[in-house]
Amino acid sequence: MKNATPTESGILAFHKRCEEFYPADAVDAPIGQQRRWYDALCAEFDAPSPVGLVRQDELVDARISVRRYRPAQIATQTRIFYIHGGGFVVGSLDSHDAICAELAHAAKAELVSIDYRLAPEHIWPAAFDDCFDVLTWLLAEDRPLVVAGDSAGGNLTAGIVLKAKARNLSGIVGQVLVYPGLGGDLVSGSYREMADAPGLTTADVGYYRAVLRAPEDDVFAHPLKAGDLTGLPPAYITAAHFDPLRDDARIYAARLIMACVDVTFRDEPQMIHAWLRARHMSEGARRGFDHLCRGVGSLVGTL
In a domain, 219, yes or no: yes
In a domain, 2, yes or no: no
**Mean model confidence pLDDT for the chain:** 97
% of the chain beyond a pLDDT of 70: 99
Residue pair 197/239 in contact (Cβ under 8 Å)? The answer is: no
CATH number of the domain residue 28 falls in: 3.40.50.1820
Output the pLDDT for position 1.
47
Q: DSSP alpha helices (H): ranges in the chain?
A: 9-21, 31-44, 97-107, 126-139, 152-166, 190-193, 202-212, 246-258, 283-300
Position 280 pLDDT exceeds 70: yes
Output the pLDDT for position 195.
97
Q: Summarize pLDDT for 97-133 with one digit per residue, the tens.
A: 999 999 999 999 999 999 999 999 999 999 999 999 9
Q: Summarize pLDDT for 137-171 with one digit per residue, the tens.
A: 999 999 999 999 999 999 999 999 999 999 999 99
Angle at 265 between CA 174 and CA 221, to 5 degrees: 60
145-150/79-83 β-pairing: parallel
Domain count, the chain: 1
Catalytic residue numbers read 151, 243, 273
Instruction: Write the burial class of residue 207 (CB in 10 Å: 0-12 exposed, 13-18 middle, 19+ buried).
Output: middle
- Rounded distance between C-alpha atoms, residue 279 and residue 275, angstroms: 7
% of the chain beyond a pLDDT of 90: 98
In a domain, 1, yes or no: no
In a domain, 4, yes or no: no
Output the pLDDT for position 18.
97
Position 295 pLDDT exceeds 80: yes
Position 136 pLDDT exceeds 80: yes
Domain span including residue 34? 9-300
Residue pair 66/113 in contact (Cβ under 8 Å)? The answer is: yes
In a domain, 157, yes or no: yes
In a domain, 176, yes or no: yes
Position 2 pLDDT exceeds 80: no
Nearest to 67 by CA among 80, 75, 58, 78: 58
In a domain, 262, yes or no: yes
Output the pLDDT for position 303.
84
Q: Summarize pLDDT for 9-43 with one digit per residue, the tens.
A: 999 999 999 999 999 999 999 999 999 999 999 99
Q: Summarize pLDDT for 163-195 with one digit per residue, the tens.
A: 999 999 999 999 999 999 999 999 999 999 999
